Amino acid sequence: MLLEARDLKKHYPTRNGVVKAVDGVSFTLEPGKTFALVGESGCGKSTMAKLMLLLERPTSGAVVYDGQEVTAMRGRALRRFRRDVQAVFQDPYASLNPRLRVGKIIAEPMMAQGDLDRGAIRKRVAEALDVVGLQPDAARLYPHEFSGGQRQRIAVARALAVRPKVVILDEPTSALDVSIRAQILNLLSDIQDEYGLSYLIIAHDLALVEHFSDVTGVMYLGNMVEQGPTASIFDTPSHPYTQALLASAPRPDPDHHLPTDVIIGEIGSALAVPSGCPFHPRCPKRFAPCDSENPERRATAPGTWARCHLLHGPDTAPGHPELHLSERTRS
């Protein structure tokens, strides 16, 4: 395993109480794989990205990279982390400094590393531009001279040029047009295949996640409610929230009927996370224990678990789920 979140919590004290943006989330990103975090706005997935990138410090829990706790890193180890873990953000207009030339934008992570001379950096910039399908003379221009899709290519080139091992993609295509989205997604897939990169992708578009990721984690109000191989999550979703998300996703098919009864109301506030299962006020299937007790993880398929009281029944939790879980956490 490469990058791991161990029981991460991020609480923000505010005047009106404590916002529990992330409240105990764990997952592991394996080398060469893509892990997707999905959920509605306000579920804590963007806070997760900030924690994994060490832009914010967790309230408790740990981010572990290559066996070492990230918050404890200093000097060489920290510099290596800053090289190995890069990011591409949603808005290609906000993520490139308008006052810097593209060449300098792409060179910035290499300059911060300080182990390459100017010539080597220039060569790497040209290589990176080539990989993302831009001309080498793009390096001399400013960001405003490019379209949104081209800017996102520049953002990808920048992340790539330091030869990282992990790239965290926070909604990398949601600001782009449909026809440009496919270009960027294919580009990211190609780069992953070629360089063996790991991706952590944060997205709200389920079809994109199904298409793009190997493992999926579904977040709701700071909690991970279901996690497992993408195919298993999408083919047989166990948690009522995952089911609702999948059912609500619009499909380009005029004969597909979207149900309106799979979820109640709107996402709650992270200021006042409901007691028991955080999803229970919106769950059409809630019953007695849901409002008092937050359910434990239950294995639902190999490598897949969900947190729902409905899964306590004997026919939905085959074998020894707890045993399977402890295997996962120890591996």
Partner 1 sequence: MTEMSPMDHAPADQSRTDQPPVLDVRHLVTELRLRRGALRPVDGVSFRVGRGETLGIVGESGSGKSMTCLSLLRLLPRPGGRIAAGEVLVAGTDLTKLSEKELARDWRGRRISMVTQDPMSSLNPVYTVGDQVGAPLRYHGLAHSRAEARARAADALGRVRIPSPEARLDDFPHQFSGGMRQRVVSAMAIACAPEVMIADEPTSSLDVTIQVKMMDLYKQIQEETGVAIVLITHDMGVAASICDRIAVMYAGRIVEQGPAREIFRNPAHPYTRALLNAIPKLGEKSKRLYALGGQPPSLLDMPGGCRFAPRCTLADAKCLAAYPGDSDLGSGHRAACWRLSEEGAPDAA
Partner 2 sequence: MTAETTRLPDHGIGAQLRSLFGDGFPWISAGILVGVILLAMVGPMVSPWQPGALDLRSAFQPPVWAGGAWSHPLGTDNLGRDIFSRIIAGTRVSVIVAFWAILLSGAIGTIIGMIAGYFGGWADTIIMRLVDMQLSIPPLALALILAAVLDPGLQAVVIVITVTYWSWYARIVRGEVLSLREREYVALARIAGCGPLTIFARHLAPNIVNTLLVLATLQVGQVIIFEASLSFLGLGIQSPDISWGVMLADARGYITNAWWAITMPGVAIMLTCLASNLFGDWLRDVLDPKRKQL
Residues that bind partner 2 (CB under 8 A): 50, 53, 55, 78-79, 82-83, 85-87, 89-91, 94-97, 99-100, 105, 108-109, 112-113, 133-135, 137-138, 141-142, 145-147, 150, 158, 162
Q: Is 250 one of the binding residues for partner 1 (CB under 8 A)?
A: yes
Contacts of 116 (CB under 8 A, 6+ apart): 110, 124
CA dihedral (88, 93, 95, 96) in degrees, to 10, reads 120
- Quick one: which of 234, 277, 279, 286 contacts partner 1 (CB under 8 A)? 234
* Cβ at position 216, least distance to partner 2 in Å: 24
If the CB atoms of residues 29 and 162 are measured against partner 2, the closer one turns out to be: 162
d(CA 121, CA 110): 7
Stretch (H or E) spanning 19: strand 17-29
d(CA 294, CA 291): 8
If the CB atoms of residues 121 and 244 are measured against partner 1, the closer one turns out to be: 244
Q: Is 255 one of the binding residues for partner 1 (CB under 8 A)?
A: yes
The candidate with the shortest Cα–Cα distance to 5, out of 19, 24, 20, is: 24
Contacts of 288 (CB under 8 A, 6+ apart): none
Q: Is 16 one of the binding residues for partner 1 (CB under 8 A)?
A: no
Q: Is 69 one of the binding residues for partner 1 (CB under 8 A)?
A: no
If the CB atoms of residues 193 and 327 are measured against partner 1, the closer one turns out to be: 193
Site for partner 1 in 129-188 (CB under 8 A): 147-150, 177-183, 185-186
Answer with the entry of partner 1, partner 2, none that 212 interacts with (C-beta below 5 to 8 A by kind): partner 1
218, HSE (Cβ side, Cα atoms, 13 Å): 29
Answer with the entry of partner 2, partner 1, none that 22 interacts with (C-beta below 5 to 8 A by kind): none
What DSSP line would sit under 68-104, residue for residue?
A: EEGGG--HHHHHHHHHHEEEE-S-TTTSS-TTS-HHH
Q: Is 210 one of the binding residues for partner 1 (CB under 8 A)?
A: yes
